[in-house]
Amino acid sequence: MMGDLPAPGAGPPPAARSLLARLAGAREALVAVALSAAAAVAIGSVRAPAADLAQRVAETSDVYVLPPTDEVVALSLGYRSALADLLWSHVLVSQGMHTMERRRFENLTLLLDAINALDPTFRDPYLFADALITFQTSETPHREVVKAREIMERGVQNRPLDGEIWLALGQFVGFIAPAAYLTDPQEKAQWRLDGARMLARAAELGGGDANISWQALGGAGILGRAGEREAQIRFLQRTLAVTDDEELKQKIRAQLDKLLDARDAEKYRRRLDGFRDLWRRDLPFVSNTAILVLGPPRDPAYCAGGAHADEPRCATTWRAWAERVEGER
């Protein structure tokens, strides 16, 4: 009998320890189930009121937390482009959220000003400024239309040789704003003329990009309808001088034939054909823009001494060459 009893100081037998472990596990499981049930009841009791509150409470205005633009530049600590990229990402995300929430992005123009100050040559904000500012859920105020033009004009000032920015600016000023956002007839007319001149500049810079030249060509029609015949002719002639697109050349020539009288049209065609003959004979492998920069071919030996200084083949610039060609006729 004494051999069946556990020794003094020994723990419970293995069977008892196993039973105690199972009881402890069951108790922990019951506690977890009870806590989960209590949490579910608590969540259920507050979920409906919280959802109702979220539907009734909506953000109606924006708070601009950045300092003035000059101080934003100082705040960047020299990382101007990096901060400009960060703010531009914020603009794109916030614009989408505001559109989803059907409310205006009130800080947009302030953020664009800050981005322009941080990185004046960052082109994307200039290209998309008009779309971001005018693509709002409510009517676009006149001041924001003017602001969009101001920002895009800042773009052509900082990137004067970017034909795509000139094209976007000209289309907005010449077509989009007068047709959709402006109401005063005089202001519309002035904006259209300004836009046509901007499109003329875009056509000049887009000589290597036929797409820009084609889109900019609408500015010539604006000048014609406004009675600016000479400006329209200059627009077409300059575009014809820089474009390499044969289809566009034919279209522009047809328009010039209608605008110029027979004598002037013939003189212009002779001058243009003479230029292209010189180009093909001298440097046929370079682009139209390159030959215009290099100037007309000149024979130093023939032109030495000044005896032939007034002949076209001795001209040092294309302007002088054209004047002498016309003087020979």
- Residue 245, pLDDT score: 79
Identify the sign of the CA torsion 186, 189, 195, 200: negative
249-294 pLDDT, tens digit each: 888 888 888 887 766 666 677 777 777 777 777 777 777 777 777 7
User: Is 0.85 topped by the overall pTM?
Assistant: no
Residue with tokens 């294309």: 318
Which one-letter DSSP state was computed for residue 136?
A: -
CB burial class (10 A; 0-12, 13-18, 19+) of residue 123?
middle
- Residue 262, pLDDT score: 61
Within 13 A of 272's CA, how many CA atoms are on the CB side? Answer: 19
Q: Write out the H or E segment, with its range, that includes residue 292.
A: helix 288-294
Please give the residue that has the higher pLDDT: either 11 or 322. 322
Secondary structure of residue 50 in the 3-state scheme: helix
- Cα–Cα distance measured from residue 165 to residue 154, given in angstroms and rounded to the nearest whole number: 10
Residue 266's CB is within 10 A of a number of other CB atoms, namely 13
User: Are 275 and 294 spatial neighbours (Cβ–Cβ below 8 Å)?
Assistant: no
- Cα–Cα distance measured from residue 53 to residue 55, given in angstroms and rounded to the nearest whole number: 5
- Cα–Cα distance measured from residue 141 to residue 144, given in angstroms and rounded to the nearest whole number: 6
SS3 content of the chain, % helix, strand, coil (to 5): 75, 0, 25
Residue 223, pLDDT > 50, answer: yes
139-188 pLDDT, tens digit each: 788 999 999 999 999 999 999 999 999 999 999 999 999 988 999 999 99
- Residue 164, pLDDT score: 92
- Residue 87, pLDDT score: 94
What value does the mean pLDDT take over residues 196-220?
84
- Residue 148, pLDDT score: 94
Please give the residue that has the higher pLDDT: either 40 or 289. 40
How open is the CA angle 71-72-73, to the nearest 5 degrees? 90
State the average pLDDT for the chain. Answer: 81
With a CB cutoff of 8 Å and minimum separation 6, the contacts of 308 are: 302, 314
How far apart, in Å, are the Cα atoms of 227 and each of 222, 224, 252? 9, 5, 18
Please give the residue that has the higher pLDDT: either 228 or 200. 200
SS3 labels along 203-238: HHHCCCCHHHHHHHCHHHHHHHHCCCHHHHHHHHHH
* 34-38, 127-131, 202-206, 291-295, range with greatest mean pLDDT: 127-131
CB burial class (10 A; 0-12, 13-18, 19+) of residue 106?
middle
How far apart, in Å, are the Cα atoms of 147 and each of 62, 108, 112, 154, 165? 19, 11, 10, 10, 16
Residue 38, pLDDT > 60, answer: yes
- Cα–Cα distance measured from residue 293 to residue 287, given in angstroms and rounded to the nearest whole number: 10
Residue 1, pLDDT > 50, answer: no
Residue 160's CB is within 10 A of a number of other CB atoms, namely 11
User: Are 313 and 325 spatial neighbours (Cβ–Cβ below 8 Å)?
Assistant: no
* Backbone torsion region of residue 58, taken as left when φ is above 0, otherwise alpha when ψ lies between -120 and 50, otherwise beta: beta
